[in-house]
A and B are shown apart, each in its own frame.
Chain A
Amino acid sequence: RKEVEQDPGPFNVPEGATVAFNCTYSNSASQSFFWYRQDCRKEPKLLMSVYSSGNEDGRFTAQLNRASQYISLLIRDSKLSDSATYLCVVNMENQGGKLIFGQGTELSVKP
């Protein structure tokens, strides 16, 4: 079983749509959670951290459910520029920068 599992997609949505990505992680010792974004043939970039209380950054909302070991990312009012692969990432306590990546969910926003 993979440590971090995501639906690979692709998700094809029209501009303005709301889209949600889900992610599950297997190790209950996971301590920190993040969403990274990766454009085609580019490097991954941190989109946002995910906190237990849930957090929002503009059109993006991230949620964490530790009991279910489940992380989500909601994108409202999708823009063409949101097209990318979204990577669910976890980190263990005392593991330095050893991030554990999911395979990524591909999003394509169409006009």
Chain B
Amino acid sequence: EAGVTQFPSHSVIEKGQTVTLRCDPISGHDNLYWYRRVMGKEIKFLLHFVKESKQDESGMPNNRFLAERTGGTYSTLKVQPAELEDSGVYFCASSQRPGSSTGELFFGEGSRLTVL
């Protein structure tokens, strides 16, 4: 069974440009999450989708970040315009049940974003 896949694995852009990250969750997983790890810091929650609905977006840093999950399948996270502090690794995770019940989220390998 395919795991969570993310694309691209690494993106290098200049400040002010736009980047779109994509996540394909495990098939059948209604819950999809985005997390981010900035260098030297801990992994932090960004938002949670249940199917196509945003359940919790309290971790989104600002309105330069836009996440979508049209149709409740794959999700995209767009950063526009990108700033230097957006550099980091963006992880997507999915689960069949909400993470609080088992703690087990299945993570993708992450998309490393470098903003120059």
0/1 string, B75-99, CB within 8 A of A gives 1: 0000000000000000101010011
A1 is an interface residue with CB less than 8 A from chain B = no
Q: Which residues of A contact B42 (CB under 8 A)?
A: 2, 4, 101-104
Give the interface size class of chain B: 20 to 34
A12 is an interface residue with CB less than 8 A from chain B = no
Partner of A44, one of B31, B43, B45, B102: B43
Best-surrounded residue of A46, A94, A97 (most CB of chain B within 10 A) = A97
Q: Which of these binds chain B: A53-61, A66-74, A85-93? A: A85-93
Contact A97–B41 (Cβ < 8 Å): no
B44 is an interface residue with CB less than 8 A from chain A = yes
A96 is an interface residue with CB less than 8 A from chain B = yes
Q: Which residues of A contact B8 (CB under 8 A)?
A: none
* Given the contacts A4-B42, A32-B100, A87-B43, A97 and B107 also touching, CB distance less than 8 Å: no
Contact A46–B103 (Cβ < 8 Å): yes
* Given the contacts A43-B110, A97-B48, A89 and B103 also touching, CB distance less than 8 Å: yes
Contact A96–B43 (Cβ < 8 Å): no
Partner of A97, one of B44, B58, B99, B108: B99
* Given the contacts A44-B91, A49-B102, A99 and B107 also touching, CB distance less than 8 Å: no
0/1 string, B35-51, CB within 8 A of A gives 1: 10000011111001010
- Complex: A94 Cα to B35 Cα, angstroms: 18
A48, chain B: closest CB distance, angstroms: 9
A110 is an interface residue with CB less than 8 A from chain B = no
The 10 closest A-B pairs by CB, nearest first: A97-B99, A43-B107, A34-B103, A101-B43, A103-B42, A46-B104, A96-B98, A101-B42, A98-B45, A43-B109
- B-side residues, CB < 8 A to A, are 4, 31, 33, 35, 41-45, 48, 50, 55-56, 58-59, 91, 93, 95, 98-100, 102-105, 107-110
